Amino acid sequence: MGNKQVIVGLGSCGIAAGAGKVYEKIRALKEVEGLDFELKKTSCVGMCYREPLVEVIDESGSYLYGEIDEAKAIEILNKHIEQNIPVQEYVVHSDLFKTVDNTFTDSQVKIALRNCGYMDPEKIQEYEDRQGYAAIKKIAQNGISREEVIKTVLDSGLRGRGGGGFPTGLKWRFANNNKSADKYIICNADEGDPGAFMDRSVLEGDPHAVLEGMIIGAYAIEANGGVIYCRAEYPLAIKRLNIAIDQAREKGYLGKNILGIEGFNFDIYIKEGAGAFVCGEETALIASIEGERGMPRKRPPFPAASGLWKKPTNINNVETFANIPWIILNEADAYSKYGTEKSKGTKVFALAGKVKRSGLVEVPMGMSIRDVIFKLGGGIQNDKKFKAVQMGGPSGGCIPEYLADTIVDYDSVNATGAIMGSGGMVIMDETTCMIDVAKFFLDFTQKESCGKCTFCRIGTKRMLEILTRITEGKGEMEDIARLEELAQQIKDSSLCGLGQTAPNPVLTTLKYFRDEYEAHIRDKKCPSKVCTSLLTYEVDPDKCTGCTVCAKNCPTSCIEGERKAVHFIRQDDCIKCGTCYSKCKFDAIRLS
């Protein structure tokens, strides 16, 4: 049994799925039965759809077990640990034999996620064992200049992974050109779309990579102060960041004259945000750090000239910083060989919605959206028809199935009306109502508007009212023109990028799914049978057996009929709750 390792995934996703109980069961059995193996913790492996995950490493190789509960954990210990017999039916990934999940990992190129799921994020030694802090050591030992660091980042083609896609090296150069005794570097870990799940997972699984990226950025622009702006709803990420910061200080990676570089004094602290969506915008984020209400400021001046405390400031997001150490260590060409002409490297996406394999994936730029969804994501749940994918978070856009061969790069995604954002992909199937989707996302952005800009504050509210009216069957054809006019005014009149992109879900659904709007308005029907007010529940006389189950469960007693006789629904009294539809065992209730 010697030399075996058992590693439990204890990211937030794993803990929510029950991985904490699995870990404690394994730990108790190890102690009580005196089993000879090393028990370790790691974070999110990315295969969230298979949580809880337990990896066993023995002399023959690695076996990743998925959907493990306490009973399965006991079986794995009894068979794999004690008898050297892997429990193959629970294995979701192994290099030793093929599994259905191998394509999920084998199609990825992991740079930002290179350490997530492979080490204990609370132990700096494990990060160092995986070339951690080797990049900043390379700079110190070889006397690499600030301009050379910036040039390497520029040549790599890395663009900001937070949404706008501005060239990272150019952003650093602007900050470096502004001379000041005090400069700041900020990590934006507060983005509020599904891609923020990626930010949280990197902070939980590889906090030192983010710290090292910030340290290198601080060296490049001569910053002496660093802030990680992280939403308070990420307690595990904050806990592990604090551990990592303390460890980095003890090792001399933070503090004065870092690694012997004379005059390079830099430290980092965490600012916990309240989770306001608008604080993903950099000037609103700065205001929040300064203790003011998180609201965007007019630009120019840009943060590179006047940012935190009116000092030159550089802001990048979690994924951007996580890429930096790898780029410095492996050189620009190693990174830029991935991707397209204008979008280099890799991109992390959080797959969610009606997809078989939800979780985190990292793919080279240039892969098609279809391949991301079907090759990595495994396709659509229950093999339903793929309808659309929403990219870019709440202020992103919906891309229809016929544009799914669009490649993942900034220009191509932007051309569809969506945005890359920080990496959210919400997949939708044929049962999704696109007006309902637009209403859902607009409801979020309307509530999250800081209120500073009139069109963002009031215009989004008027748009939401129109969408609500349409889904209730009260819309009129003129509403389509009203939505388009309001959307354009909001985009033109909002101060920050969040307000400017808030109408995107409406504009893209109008562009690609206008027929659904017209059906809701003209025909008073929801083609996807989602909008309750537009549904009609009827009894199919050819299937009704007169069992009376529907009548007994109807909350308004609007279903009538004798036992063993065909029933009927009084439409004037039906509240369209769907109880009859869900209770009928004979598919005798039909929707129209």
pLDDT, tens only, 460-512: 999 999 999 999 999 999 999 999 999 999 999 999 888 999 999 999 999 99
Residue 259 lies in a domain: yes
| DSSP classification of residue 384 | P
Residue 221 lies in a domain: yes
In this predicted structure, what is the pLDDT of residue 98? 79
| Predicted confidence band of residue 102 (pLDDT cuts 50, 70, 90) | confident
Q: Which of 476, 495, 523 is the last residue of a domain?
A: 523
Residue 573 lies in a domain: yes
Which of 340, 121, 149 has its CA nearest to residue 243? 121
In this predicted structure, what is the pLDDT of residue 194? 45
441 & 423 share domain: no
169 & 253 share domain: yes
Whether pLDDT at 118 is above 70? yes
242 & 174 share domain: yes
pTM: 0.93
| Predicted confidence band of residue 559 (pLDDT cuts 50, 70, 90) | very high
The secondary structure element, H or E, covering residue 552 is helix 549-553
* Distance (Å, whole) CA 426 – CA 381: 13
Mean of all residue pLDDT scores within the chain:
93
Nearest 5°: the CA angle 521, 523, 524 is 65
Q: Which of 429, 456, 485 is the last residue of a domain?
A: 429
What average pLDDT does the segment 196-220 reach?
93
Query: What is the number of domains present in the chain?
Result: 5
192 & 66 share domain: no
Residue 110 lies in a domain: no
458 & 419 share domain: no
Residue 115 lies in a domain: no
Domain that holds residue 549: 536-591
| CATH code of the domain covering residue 328 | 3.40.50.11540
Whether pLDDT at 272 is above 70? yes
Q: Where are the alpha helices (DSSP H) in 168-256?
A: 168-177, 196-205, 207-221, 235-251
144 & 223 share domain: yes
* Distance (Å, whole) CA 113 – CA 187: 17
Q: Is 33 left (phi over 0), alpha (psi -120 to 50) or beta?
A: alpha
In this predicted structure, what is the pLDDT of residue 2? 59
492 & 478 share domain: yes
Whether pLDDT at 422 is above 90? no
78 & 199 share domain: no
Strand partners, 355: 380
Map tokens 């790691």 to a residue. Answer: 42
Residue 61 lies in a domain: yes
| Predicted confidence band of residue 144 (pLDDT cuts 50, 70, 90) | very high
192 & 261 share domain: yes
Whether pLDDT at 195 is above 80? no
48 & 64 share domain: yes
